[in-house]
Structure 1
Amino acid sequence: MRSLRENLQRANLHLGRNYPEPKIVYQQRGTAAGTAWLESYEIRLNPVLLLENQQAFYEEVVPHELAHLLVWKHFGRVAPHGKEWKWMMEAVLGVPARRTHQFELDSVRRNTYPYRCSCQQHQLTVRRHNRVLRGETEYRCVRCGEKLRPETPPLS
């Protein structure tokens, strides 16, 4: 909460506003460290990853999610990690604008399915894997933009 309050105070001073404190909920599951819920003005944090990466949460995750909420309040609906978010992170909050974390995820990975693109392996949750199997959606790599495809097991 201290990280949230300090960053919110810094933003309010810089922006000349008095944005309220968002609600923090410790119910984020899976491999996401946190998410910002715009309409309910809340930040959801992954309690397992928080316990394992406390300093990184204070320095990066909380400001990252707060920046999403502040951008929404200040600019309206814009690209999630676009120029407004980068400006809010770097110029206002003074935090490097990184889109993803590099936490060890073994403790939060349950049943995941390996998928590939041209640049790396991805782990899709059961829910996302089933959506792909049913043909409801496709997922793309945020780095290379290529469609993710199920990784085939090696032949024995």
Structure 2
Amino acid sequence: MKPLRIPIALQQGVMQCLRAKLAQAGEYFDCTFPEPAISFQQRGTSAGNAWLERWEIRLNPQLLLENQQRFIDEVVPHELAHLLVYRQFGRVAPHGREWRWMMMTVLQTPARRTHEFDSAAVRKSIFPYRCGCQQHALTVRRHNRVIRGETQYRCRRCGDILQPEATGTER
């Protein structure tokens, strides 16, 4: 699959946001943080990913192209906050109180764990699951974890364990 070409204006927007948020953090902590490496290689439905030890942020090029400024304003600070929390506190819960504090107090950005972008273009296969109150769509990765017995997922609304829905294609 050929990598998507990110227009230079979008790349500049990403870097401008990153540098502004790094400056905010530097001012808050009275220090200078190194600029993390940025790559546009995140795949799947994740908007981005922070590689802590590598001091790198990976961004989803498809979701960036589709959501542009909203993506930059939400995802870049989100991933940067993970790196800053790692630098300041070490390994802690990914979206725990330190991360929420970093987002809201230091970076002055709403602390949302997940994005709400339309991910139809990046979603390869989805698997229907049910709980007591609604239908859910699990990614192939989560579905395979359930099938292998590695994990269970619960509905955030009703708390029920998600169960695969019969689709008629199972063998």
- Listed one character per residue, the Cα deviations across residues 54-95 of structure 1 (whole Å, up to 9, x for unaligned) are 111221110001001100101111111111111111111111
| Counterpart Cα distance in 1 of 2:55 and 2:73 | 20
SS in 1 for 2:86: helix
Greater displacement, 108-117 / 142-151 = 142-151
AA of the residue aligned to 2:92: V
Identity fraction in percent: 65
The equivalences for 1:1-156 within 5 A come to: 1-118=15-132, 120-141=134-155, 145-153=159-167
Unaligned segments of structure 1, at least 5 residues: none
The alignment's TM-score, normalised by the length of structure 2, stands at: 0.81
| Counterpart Cα distance in 1 of 2:156 and 2:34 | 32
| Counterpart Cα distance in 1 of 2:127 and 2:46 | 16
Structure 1 pair 136–83 and aligned structure 2 pair: CA distance change class (3 A): closer
**Cα displacement (A) at 1:15:** 1.0
**Cα displacement (A) at 1:48:** 0.2
In the alignment, which residue of structure 1 is the partner of 2:3? none
- Listed one character per residue, the Cα deviations across residues 89-110 of structure 1 (whole Å, up to 9, x for unaligned) are 1111111111111111111111
Unaligned segments of structure 2, at least 5 residues: 1-14
Structure 1 pair 118–26 and aligned structure 2 pair: CA distance change class (3 A): farther
AA of the residue aligned to 2:21: N
Structure 1 pair 140–92 and aligned structure 2 pair: CA distance change class (3 A): same
| Counterpart Cα distance in 2 of 1:92 and 1:70 | 10
SS in 1 for 2:34: coil
